[in-house]
Amino acid sequence: MTSEPRSTVQDTAPDTAPNVQFTGSTPYEDYVRASVLGDLQEPLSDDPGEMSFLVTTQVMELWFTLLVHEWRTAARALREDDLATAMAALRRSTYELESLNASWKPLAHLTPTQFNGFRSALGEASGFQSATYRRLEFLLGEKSPAMLVPYRGAPAVHAELEKALREPGLYDEVLRHLARRGHAIPRAVLDRDVAERYAPDPAVEEVWQRVYEGDQNAEACRLGEALTEVAELVWRWRNDHLVATRRAMGAKVGTGGSAGVAWLEKRAAKHVFPELWTARSRV
């Protein structure tokens, strides 16, 4: 009787144990800077719920930063008529928007009493003052020179936002791209003052109507759907913000003296890229 040869797989398998010998900090720390992130939390009250509020808000700021990156990437690619790069950035941003929206979960069920436990620690701080969120809104066409006023005391931030104010937004670059592709975008829309809030135009609505009545696999239709997905998730963000605020503080004046729920209600009623929504009624 002969015996079967013993497998040598185990003998020849490479050593898969992770490297744990480093001369300084770990490569993970060097790349992620986790210790820096972990040192950024400085609650100002003794209420244990403030830590959740603070970390969640900081996480939101990181998502804002990433979304600004994605939409600037998409706008730059559209300016160069590189639709593939633009679509990839828009697609990534929808996943990131879903994660941003999920950030409301830790805060969405705060009762007024729980919020009041640390609200005084916020002082005059308000999410309305976030410079990164303002850049995000500018990219979506929500522009106004008056929005620069809160940053006058921070010259570097003010200069960066003023530059963003005067640059074409994401939708501006979309419409310019469509015009170069032969779509009848009015000259008045293409030459508008991009430092002002985008206003819907009936002729742009007609362009999107024709796009949706045509080939559903055409580039313009796929671009329209990618933008619609972004717009829907932005609306959900605004609505979730409204609901969380209403649950936590009702109709009281917001931190920083804002109108609170009343202001958020107006924001939640608006859609970005408006003609993409109104054109659907005409298809």
Annotated binding residues for heme, written as ranges, equal 241
Tell me the binding residues: 119, 241, 255
Residue pointed to by tokens 């939390």: 41
Nearest to 240 by CA among 92, 127, 75: 127
Q: Which residue has the tokens 């994660």?
A: 99
- Which string of DSSP letters, residue by residue, matches the chain? --PPPPP-HHHHS---PPP---SSS-HHHHHH-HHHHHT----SSS-THHHHHHHHHHHHHHHHHHHHHHHHHHHHHHHTT-HHHHHHHHHHHHHHHHHHHHTTTTTTT--HHHHHHHHGGGTT--GGG-HHHHHHHHHTT---GGGGGGGTT-HHHHHHHHHHHTS--HHHHHHHHHHHTT----HHHHTS-TTS-----HHHHHHHHHHHHS-TTSHHHHHHHHHHHHHHHHHHHHHHHHHHHHHHHTTSPPGGG--THHHHHHHHT--SSTHHHHGGGG-
Return all residues near 245 (Cβ < 8 A) that are at least 6 apart.
254, 260, 261, 264
- Cite the annotated binding site for substrate by residue number: 119, 255
